[in-house]
Structure 1
Amino acid sequence: MCGPISPAGPKSPFSPLLPGSPFSPRCPFRPGIPPTPISPLLPFSPFIPSSPFSPLSPISPGSPKWPFSPMSPFSPLSPISPSSPCKPSSPLSPFSPLVPFSQVSPFTPFCPFIPGKPEFPLSPLTPTSPKKKTYRITRK
């Protein structure tokens, strides 16, 4: 289908607008209505280079205002929010001792579950014993 459209490209006045090689794969999209997709591309082509500048121009002056607007309310809240939880955190001192415990005990993940029982880590090793039993069954 691209074949018949490619020769029609140079005949049409849009041929100069279409590079040809890059648009050749897109030819199936405009096999029946080549002028319609090209017409919007014409106004957009000049807008593409200017579009980034046009929207950025109004955004550039407003960009600092945008982050400042949300930050302004957050800036006062940020010091207040941490200060409020910090006060209740002082009574939550039990969490602070948990930090040294995790550092002192080699079994950091098992520390809360087994502070003085190292047999729990052996529990995962127990499944190996039944495997050995299976070998005994195979021997029989």
Structure 2
Amino acid sequence: MRTINPWINFNGNAEEAFTFYKSVFGEEFTKIVRFKELSSEEFPIAEDDANKIMYIGLPIGKNNVLIANDVPEFMGKVNEQENRSKIAVSAESREEADKVFNGLSAGGDVEGPIGESPWGTYAGMFRDKYGIEWIVEFDPNI
């Protein structure tokens, strides 16, 4: 297996969230596709959904891409406070772990402050301001 890339659903704010993530990770989007680009007679898109994101990709690290989309109104809402799977970021240094943790947790809720973990790593856990759950970790033994 080459990579596993997390894919997140949003309620119309995928572009806003990914612009925030881009400010932390410092990469450029690989692709942005809006629902209006897919509209056809066979697949009509409601005007309210036309500018929503069907696909957005943000490279993270050497081989990974964080992916997202907005859920069209006809499919209902995503519960942003549900217990979703966490996105784990393995940093290359304590400094990088601090930068990512502090950047992404800004405006969110820290569940576990970054620091020494019982399993010998430097780690922290939080839910960002968009409701996405993250774990940031640096393992000095890897």
- Sort the TM-score into its range (normalised by shorter chain): under 0.3
Give the TM-score normalised by structure 2.
0.16
Q: Greater relative contact order (Cα 8 A, min sep 6): structure 1 or 2?
A: 2
TM-score under structure 1 normalisation?
Answer: 0.16
Which structure has the larger Rg over C-alpha atoms?
1
